[in-house]
């Protein structure tokens, strides 16, 4: 079951999104500001689909994404959907989260106002991509490559 982190300072929006996504079988965690969101993203070993609102207190959603982009181990663990009513903000997303590198990134953007069907579809698509990425990273083939690489490193003369 996918986990979603809703980062929004509007209690009504957080609650409506929680209800809709829970009905889809998703687990929802809520953050009321950017500092709490960054802490949850950093501390979570499990991946989140993070719904990041641009205007949140203490640390804007854009700044949260900047901090995440600076730490690839966090950026690669999660998927991000950037929500804003200010379309100018979409042009200033951190380049490291553009989706072009390492398979991480803002998988979607969502402009406000949005309908709940679009929200649900984008979250489910992001959750599917995140699950595929997570499964691929944990495949036996990937572990075999790591073992072969380690063995080769040990067999080289010092």
Q: How many domains does the chain have?
A: 1
pTM of the full structure: 0.78
Going from the C-alpha of 119 to that of each of 3, 66, 82, 112, the distances in angstroms are 15, 23, 11, 10
- Model confidence pLDDT, tens digit, residues 72-124: 888 889 999 999 887 777 766 665 554 444 445 566 788 889 999 999 999 99
* Domain encompassing residue 63: 3-155
CATH code for the domain in which residue 98 is found = 3.40.50.2300
State yes or no: pLDDT of 148 exceeds 70: no
**Do residues 59 and 35 make contact, with C-beta atoms less than 8 angstroms apart?**
yes
């Amino acid at each position: 079951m996918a986990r979603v982190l809703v980062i929004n300072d509007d209690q009504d929006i957080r609650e409506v999104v929680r209800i809709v996504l829970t009905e889809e079988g998703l687990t929802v965690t809520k953050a009321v500001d950017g500092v709490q969101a960054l802490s949850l993203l950093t501390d979570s070993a499990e991946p989140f689909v993070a719904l990041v609102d641009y205007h949140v207190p203490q640390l804007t959603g854009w700044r949260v994404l900047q901090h995440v982009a600076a730490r690839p181990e966090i950026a690669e663990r999660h998927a991000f959907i950037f929500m804003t009513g200010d379309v100018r903000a979409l042009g200033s997303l951190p380049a490291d989260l553009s989706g072009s590198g390492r398979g991480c990134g803002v998988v979607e953007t969502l402009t406000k106002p949005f309908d709940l069907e679009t929200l649900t579809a984008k979250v489910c698509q992001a959750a599917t991509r995140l699950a595929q990425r997570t499964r691929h990273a944990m495949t036996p083939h990937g572990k075999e490559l790591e073992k072969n690489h380690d063995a080769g490193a040990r067999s080289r003369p010092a």
